[in-house]
Amino acid sequence: MNIKKILLACSILISTGMHAQQTASSAQTEQKINQLLSKMSLEEKVGQMAQYTLDLIGKGGNAYVSDEPFEIDPAMLDTVIGKYKVGSILNTANNRARTTEVWEKVITAIQKRALKETGIPVIYGIDSNHGTTYTAGGTFFPQEIGMAATFNTALMEQGSQVSAYETRASNIPWTFNPTMDLGRDARWSRQWESFGEDAYLNARMAVASVEGFQGANRNHVGRDHIAACVKHYMGYGVPVSGKDRTPAVISETDLREKFFEPFRAAIVEGGALSLMVNSGIINGVSTHADYRLVTKWIKEDLNFDGVIVTDWADVQNLLSRDHIVQDYKGAVKTAINAGIDMVMEPYNLKFCPTLVELVNEGEVPMSRVDDAVRRVLRLKFRLGLFEKPYWSRNEYPQFGSAEHAAIAKAAADESITLLKNQDNVLPIKKGARILVAGPNGNSMRTLNGGWSYSWQGEKTEEFAGQYNTIFEALQNKFGKENVVYEPGVTYKMDGQYFEEIVPEIQKSVAAASGADYIVLCVGENSYCETPGNLDELTLSANQTQLALALQKTGKPVILVLNEGRPRLIRTIEPGAKAVVQVYLPGNYGGDALADILSGDVNPSGKLPYTYPKFEQGLITYDHKPSQNIQGKMEGAYDYGAQTSVQYPFGFGLSYTTFEYSGLSVDKKEFAPGDEITVSVQVKNTGNVAGKEAVMLFSSDLVASLSPDVRRLRAFEKISLNPGETKTITLKLPAKDLAFVNENGKWTLEEGDFKLQVGDKIETVRSTQTKIWDAPNK
């Protein structure tokens, strides 16, 4: 074979055709892929389907640990790239962020070895989850749950653009992000990695993120952009147990209507180039073995031509965890035949020879392998890796810049959500004396959460010393002489995320005597995935006791929630004068909170989930009418079914007030193909400028399947000066009012719908019933 000559011709085609139309560029790429495939051996093809972690090729005692400073082991590189022709590497070494200089050195060496061996560049992947997670000095944004709280898709796109740029500056062209699991169970340890509980909000944020990562042309991802990988397809966020990577039970209607929709939008509308599969089990079927969901729903129904990659070691998990195959060979066969294109192994070198054996035995068709390799090569061409497989970090002078920091700070500002402000205790007046208390008051680790310089976020203090904790930011804002810190409760930083040191509550109570305000910062230490599982959703006993003790001092307590998921606060919320949810706001979260508490920034975040009040009262805003029966039924069985929540989805206060008026629709009656235009006037009736997320909800009043009580259909974030009025126009395609029926078909029925924006309501009517034959509207 002479792959290198073919690649030379391909590079000429790329350089002359890259500015052509997307469709033409794609056709040229297919020609190049066909030429490559025709010359590749089976072993080379299988290598393109394999992905291994960086530690495997690092010098060190074993495959799981590398020596520091990190260096590539030439012998292992020869094994992985030379012998097995592996096409992808991922992750960092020793679970530690690296400088752009180290990334450039490491990835350049990998690429040079790959080009020497096969002429095909490696594609390097990383979790850039709220910034370039594993690069020291990068810009960190709020985690996804905070970005969702902004209800600002433009800000989401900007944030992903910055993350893409800084990930490219690290010589990495592929991120395993955005996370699109619906966060509909407050117990789940990855709630904070989601855009919250609503399918529409998830879809819109995901599309914005994908476009920010990839840019305008998915067939030619430019030098400042990277490929997105939407994850974890799908239903990963609602395990029955509430614990990570455990089985989910989801109705067929919800699976299609709610859980699938964000992935559909990210692929069809956003153009996502890759997808990662859910590690768990849905309705008894391991997702990595589910041909229907992986191949039929994604590849066939959506005409998806990108790469489908496994999650970490999940082919092996079909054997060792799920017990659905007899041996590893059976696991590989099952996953590849289900539609997996690339296996994130990440250590087991038996994958490549095992798949070669399966193909030779006819257990995996060569056509399936060719399809997978075609997708991997297509992704590499789209990223320009054949033309430029590595580059200098000096080509990215805006890495970690002040301009990027300003965008991250703006995102933190808009994410923070004011949930209570009794007697207008906020903003705090200048010159006030403040006690900062609680375990989250002086920690960069808790502000960032997991996926921050390391997987669990435990190394954050080592890398983020130049940023301000809440305590430090408040000192800068109100004066060091006016702000003291006495935590009362602290985390055991070298223990599990939930471990706390023996509390010293009386020290904090004593310090309150000299304060005008108490800023009590509670919540969670950083965690990620399965290590973040919990058995009790209530805020820890120590933190609860601290809050109650400080409330007894009579000083106004401002309760700051710094948490990845909503911990129950019903026993301490009544005694708090104010409640502020900061989620996991990133490195600029302390500064953002200080600006909000001082009034320099007006809070505008809205809850992207329903904040529960009781552990046995977990509910989402789009529940069924039977979950909220008003009053009692008649007769012997006179039960009700009301569920009490702490705060509803979409809730968030401001230092100003907004008045809605003049709600109108252009069509009181509509047909399935129509688009309804909804207009409303919003006025800032307060004394300070503010931002408002204008949301349009619908309610299907009668349907053949019990309808959700309400659904978010559109939103727009606006800014208003005092006294200013704006007319907001929201578009609602009639098909968006459809639901999935018991046969899995999208259905829009004749009947009435209530539309609500703010406190204003209009009723519209569908004049026809339509059932779509296609699986997607």
Task: State pLDDT tens for residues 697-740.
Answer: 999 999 999 999 999 999 999 999 999 999 999 999 999 999 99
Both structure tokens of 685:
């009736």
Mean pLDDT taken over the chain: 95
Q: What average pLDDT does range 167-186 have in this prediction?
A: 97
For 588-605, how does the pLDDT look when each residue is reduced to its tens digit (9 = 90+)?
999 999 999 999 999 999
Confidence of residue 630 (pLDDT cuts 50, 70, 90): low
Report the phi/psi class of residue 560: left, alpha or beta, with left for phi > 0 and alpha for psi in -120 to 50.
Answer: beta
- Our CA angle for 208, 383, 41, nearest 5°, is 135
Give the span between the Cα atoms of 673 and 734, in whole angstroms. 6
pTM of the full structure: 0.96
DSSP string, 441-463: TT-HHHHH-SSSSSSSSTTHHHH
- Our CA angle for 209, 448, 53, nearest 5°, is 70
Which class for 24: exposed (0-12), middle (13-18), buried (19 or more C-beta within 10 A)?
Answer: exposed
Sort strands 751-757 and 760-766 into parallel, antiparallel or unpaired: antiparallel
User: Could you tell me where the beta strands, DSSP code E, fall in 461-508?
Assistant: 483-485
Confidence of residue 777 (pLDDT cuts 50, 70, 90): confident
Q: How far is CA 347 from CA 53, 175, 351, in A?
A: 7, 20, 9
Q: Is-contact 145 564, C-beta < 8 A?
A: yes
Q: What is the Rg, in whole angstroms, of the alpha carbon atoms belonging to the chain?
A: 27
Residue with tokens 């990570």: 244
Q: Which residue has the higher pLDDT, 704 or 5?
A: 704
For 358-381, how does the pLDDT look when each residue is reduced to its tens digit (9 = 90+)?
999 999 999 999 999 999 999 999
Q: Which residue has the higher pLDDT, 628 or 722?
A: 722
Whether the link from the prior residue into 531 is cis, omega within 30° of 0, is no
Confidence of residue 629 (pLDDT cuts 50, 70, 90): low
Q: What average pLDDT does range 481-485 have in this prediction?
A: 98
For 418-456, how does the pLDDT look when each residue is reduced to its tens digit (9 = 90+)?
999 999 999 999 999 999 999 999 999 999 999 999 999
> Which one of the listed residues 311, 413, 595, 622 is annotated catalytic?
311
DSSP string, 187-219: T-TTGGGS--S-HHHHHHHHHHHHHHHH-S-TT
Whether the link from the prior residue into 346 is cis, omega within 30° of 0, is yes
Q: What average pLDDT does range 214-218 have in this prediction?
A: 96
Predicted pLDDT of residue 61: 84
Give the span between the Cα atoms of 57 and 66, in whole angstroms. 9
DSSP string, 567-614: -B-TTTSTT-SEEEE--S--TTHHHHHHHHHHTSS------SS-EESS
Give the span between the Cα atoms of 770 and 654, in whole angstroms. 42
Does the pLDDT of residue 66 top 80, yes or no? yes
Does the pLDDT of residue 175 top 50, yes or no? yes
Give the span between the Cα atoms of 17 and 35, in whole angstroms. 17
For 508-554, how does the pLDDT look when each residue is reduced to its tens digit (9 = 90+)?
999 999 999 999 999 999 999 999 999 999 999 999 999 999 999 99
Whether the link from the prior residue into 234 is cis, omega within 30° of 0, is yes
Catalytic, 311? Answer yes
Helix/strand/coil for 19: coil
DSSP string, 133-150: TTBTT--BPPPHHHHHHH
Confidence of residue 23 (pLDDT cuts 50, 70, 90): very low
Give the span between the Cα atoms of 734 and 1, in whole angstroms. 56
The strands making up 658-665's β-sheet, listed across from edge to edge, are 658-665, 675-684, 725-733
Residue with tokens 């399966």: 358
